[in-house]
A and B are shown apart, each in its own frame.
Chain A
């Protein structure tokens, strides 16, 4: 079967660094996505990893290890506007996105 897990909630301090982990199990894999979703809004694309390693994009980086079924999203220099839910999703063998339940990130001053 297919399964994708991420922590329900995390808290971090403004200016700090936070790492949000995501693990997945799947019989077919075509890439790993991270989306950001502010409360009451639609999800918006952050990153896509299909090969192992780290992809850096400004304050946000995403890492993938296909052999371990593991990814993380790293957020640096946290700002209050980063308070949101972060959704991990993998692209399965049918090229459909399988979504985790999301990690609610709370930023404190």
Chain B
């Protein structure tokens, strides 16, 4: 049982390039989340999905898009990367309402935009 997997583990990206961070969970959780974590700022919510087929904007959605075609996958796309998007990105999931609100996190993707 893997829980939540993220790919890639790390990536160096040229500014202006398009990038998709992948996230897959095998716990059949209905809700999924994307956060970025920057030193001194804590976790900030980018986008979330309460159930397959729906998505919502978090605190810092600009420059990012998501899709939720099925329960397991929740990719995050940077359409045109900028240096301020250099960060560690965490994907998380929870049962949200059906079994509790504890969030389980993937191992993270360290992204550097040059």
Residues of B close to A101: CB separation below 8 A: 40-42
A100–B96 Cα gap in the complex (Å)?
20
A49–B96 Cα gap in the complex (Å)?
16
Report if B34 contacts A (CB, 8 A). no
Residues of A close to B107: CB separation below 8 A: 41-42
Report if B43 contacts A (CB, 8 A). yes
Report if B102 contacts A (CB, 8 A). yes
Report if A44 contacts B (CB, 8 A). yes
Sorting the interface of chain B by its residue count into under 10, 10 to 19, 20 to 34 or 35 or more gives: 20 to 34
B25 CB to nearest chain A CB (Å): 13
A41–B110 Cα gap in the complex (Å)?
11
Residue of B nearest to A88 (CB): B42
Chain A interface, >50% SS class: loop
Residues of A close to B101: CB separation below 8 A: 30-31, 33, 48, 91, 95, 97
Pairwise interchain contact B105-A102, C-beta atoms closer than 8 A: no
Interface pairs (16), CB distance under 8 Å? A8-B40, A31-B101, A33-B102, A41-B108, A44-B105, A45-B104, A48-B100, A48-B101, A87-B42, A95-B97, A96-B45, A97-B45, A97-B103, A99-B42, A101-B40, A101-B41
Chain A residues within CB distance 8 Å of chain B: 8, 30-31, 33, 41-45, 48, 87, 89, 91, 95-97, 99-102
Chain B residues within CB distance 8 Å of chain A: 40-45, 48, 58, 90, 96-97, 100-108
